[in-house]
Amino acid sequence: MTATAERPAAAAPSAADDLSDRLRRASEYFAIPLLALVVSALLFSAFLLALGRSPVEFFDLMWRGGFGSAFSWQNTLQRAAPLVLTALCVAIPARIGLVIIGGEGALVLGGFAAAVIAVPLLGVAPAPVLLAIMALAAMAMGALWIGLAGALRHSRGVNETISSLLLTYIAIAVMYFFVEGALRDPRSLNKPATVPIGAENMLGTIPGTDIHWGLATGAAAAVLLQVLMSRTTFGFAARITGGNPRAARAQGLPVGTLTIACAMIAGACAGLAGFFEVATVHGSANGSLVAGYGFTGILVSFLARHTPLAVIPVAVLFGGIAAAGGLVQRRMGLPDATVLLLQGFIFVVLLASETLYGRLAWFRGGDRA
Amino acid sequence: MSAELLTVLFAMIGGAIRVSTPFLFVSLGECLTEKAGRINLGLEGTLVLGAMVAYMTSYETGSPWAGVAAAAAAGFLLGGLHGALCSLPKVNDVAVGIALMTFGTGVAFFFGKPYIQPAAPRLPGIPLADWTGSPALADALKVNPLFFVGIVLAFAMAWAFRNTRVGLVVRTTGDSAPAARAMGISVDGVRLLATAAGGALAGIGGSFLSLYYPGSWNEALSSGQGLMAVALVIFARWDPVRCFVAALLFGAAGAIGPALQSINITQGYYFFNAAPYILTLLIMVSSGRVRHAQHGMPGELSVSK
């Protein structure tokens, strides 16, 4: 990747040149994360070789378990749905300069709120109404939870990265406290859970298609938030604040409102992920809500460069990796933490690759020196 | 009733000493790193990795102290990785910390799987109160040598920051990178070493978890202690001796749940388990934007900007 396009310095740029130039610059944001993925796959292969395992077998199983058949695709998309939403929980605050890593807590409490609010309504409200109320409760709960981290950041200068993760531990404790205590369904013997919402109220696929509601909603949310952050006054103000809070304040932008609003949108997304986990998979709030989607979402958002639209394909990729975990575990006898370790490799290499931006001459081809 | 109260009190004191030791080591490590101007949020991962490596080494060699040394080495390497990555231009230290949380935990869980069942030799405790004849007191005051090492280290670090050339170099690097460069100090070099050494201390903290209290290796061993220790350093205003006091406070908060369990109060077990997190959050809120709280804060630190 060296400088290939030498252009006469004085030539006026034509429209076509200008477009190709812009494309070339934009391609940097695809190429470098992709390169990071390839490098981390190579490093992980070397790691497997050092353990005497076959990387070919590993990636073949990854492919088959994640994307190789209709069944594995279904499994993958099922996992991608919460990942899209938890990644949005990282991506939106990142635009305003907040590093929020507490999506797991908002997911858990969102799912908990959805399951709890459903209990008195069971048999009273018809399924669509019930599900709508559950979804709203989950979003409100998530918005409140991450909004708290945003508010503390703004009013008290509390570091939001640490506070949001602390809130996650608190959220998990709150969920267990009620699920194993006051709100426990007496029929849940071995695994404490709230009263199940019942099979008739569970959310399936969109009628006439095989598309999972959670994934469709997640994708719609990603598109909406992409528009919000890149095409509206709100998004513009948020990005200015993220770039330079002092300048934003000098311009009279409502920095506090923007900060808290972004945090609340983020929390609502993660809370919604919790709702879908309850409404499509678990049917009640229980320990299975703590599945690490919130943490994988952090990596998804970083890999997508905190761009809502890019979150969708990256979430599908990581949904596939997670879905293949079981197959790899069974066939190769590797521990279940293999997926976590692979994610760690990718995360570390990805952040190291940040240093490449602006350094590769090819992407700067059009610079008039 | 008073007997029960006494039991709780002893359990709290003993618990505070036991629970605070990993906090102490991680916060001293983080203090060193932050004094040099970087923040390492990945110490949670280091703590878990240290715990696993210590347990594995202790099991394989039969010597728990070899486990402590191995944990320190593993922490040193992970901290060094953080330091090296952050030396690259445009790489953000907070983000690398989050990545290393995942990476450290991933490595620990990957290699730690076979060691969940077997029992490894554990670190000994020093009986300080056997002469009293009170089993509760004797149990509470059976103190691990690492606790004393940590106290000595805290005072030694505070002294070294004030009085030695190395301390001055670290502080200058943390307060103003340009000033350090003008003195001919390699800023990235100092930060790399400070982060690696900080990681080694966090690794020792991890070894305490698996080799003394709770004293076994499993995947739920650490839940946020590494992260709380980072918040604790802010609370302690980057002073190693205050880190020690804060660690004791956190230890006491963490000991509430088990102490109440010792007299069969299990109601609200999860609530008391959440106490240290809530305490951390409250402390961060109260010491947030108060001017004097920032006294002693390294000028180069990104976390409180």
pLDDT category at B10 given cuts 50, 70, 90 is: confident
> What's the pLDDT score for residue B33?
96
CATH number of the domain located at residue range(s) B2-294 in this protein: 1.10.3470
Residues of B in contact with A171 (CB under 8 A): none
Q: Which residue type sits at B101?
A: M
d(CA A263, CA A164): 10
Q: How far is B98 from chain A (nearest CA, A)?
A: 8
Partner-chain contact A161 B94, CB within 8 Å:
yes
Whether residue B305 is predicted with pLDDT greater than 60 in this model: the reply is no
> What's the pLDDT score for residue B289?
61
> What's the pLDDT score for residue B113?
92
> What's the pLDDT score for residue A190?
85
Q: Report DSSP state, residue B126.
A: E
Q: Which two tokens stand for residue A53?
A: 């395992």
Tens of pLDDT, residues B207-241: 999 999 888 999 988 888 888 888 889 888 899 99
> What's the pLDDT score for residue A3?
45
Report, as ranges of residue numbers, the positions in chain A whose pLDDT lies below 70: 1-13, 365-369
Tens of pLDDT, residues B86-126: 999 999 999 999 999 999 999 999 999 999 988 889 898 88
- Are the C-beta atoms of B97 and A341 separated by less than 8 Å? no
Per-window interface: B 43-82 vs A, CB < 8 A: 81
Whether residue B189 is predicted with pLDDT greater than 60 in this model: the reply is yes
| Segments in chain A forming alpha helices (H) | 15-50, 55-67, 70-95, 103-118, 127-156, 160-179, 213-231, 233-243, 245-250, 255-276, 293-303, 308-332, 338-353
Span B127-155, mean pLDDT?
Answer: 85
Is the entire prediction scored with pTM above 0.90?
yes
Quick check: helix, strand or coil at residue B268? Answer: coil
What is the ipTM, given to two decimal places?
0.92
Residues of A in contact with B277 (CB under 8 A): 166-167, 169-170, 173
User: What phi, psi does A286 have (nearest 5°)?
Assistant: -155, -175
Domain ranges of chain A: 72-360
Question: What mean pLDDT, rounded, does chain B reach?
Answer: 89
Distances (CA, A) of B12 to A143, A284, B17: 37, 37, 8
Query: Across the interface, which of B41, B268, B277 has its CB nearest the CB of A170?
Result: B277
> What's the pLDDT score for residue B250?
86
Q: Give residue A58's Cα distance to chain centre.
A: 25
Whether residue A244 lies within 8 A of chain B, CB to CB, comes out as no
> What's the pLDDT score for residue B222?
84
Going by their DSSP bridges, the two strands B126-127 and B142-143 should be labelled as antiparallel
d(CA A305, CA A27): 13
Name the residue among B298, B227, B285 with its Cα closest to residue A158.
B285
> What's the pLDDT score for residue B1?
53
Per-window interface: A 326-355 vs B, CB < 8 A: 334-338, 340-345, 347-348, 350-352, 354-355
Whether residue B130 is predicted with pLDDT greater than 90 in this model: the reply is no
Whether residue B269 is predicted with pLDDT greater than 90 in this model: the reply is no
Q: Give residue A138's Cα distance to chain centre.
A: 17
Name the residue among A300, A296, A302 with its Cα closest to residue A352.
A302
Span B166-195, mean pLDDT?
Answer: 95
Q: Report DSSP state, residue A279.
A: I
Quick check: helix, strand or coil at residue B127? Answer: strand
Query: Across the interface, which of B89, B103, B113 has its CB nearest the CB of A348?
Result: B103
Whether cis (ω within 30° of 0) applies to the bond prior to B214 is: yes
Name the residue among B3, B23, B22 with its Cα closest to residue B262.
B3
Query: Across the interface, which of A158, A295, A340 has its CB nearest the CB of B284?
Result: A158
Decide: residue B292, CB within 10 A, 0-12 exposed, 13-18 middle, 19+ buried: exposed
Q: How far is A217 from chain B (nearest CA, A)?
A: 28
Q: How far is B227 from chain A (nearest CA, A)?
A: 7
Name the residue among B208, B246, B218 with its Cα closest to residue B75.
B208
d(CA A248, CA A56): 51
Partner-chain contact A344 B228, CB within 8 Å:
no
Domain ranges of chain B: 2-294
Fold of A72-360: ABC transporter involved in vitamin B12 uptake, BtuC (1.10.3470)
Partner-chain contact B277 A101, CB within 8 Å:
no
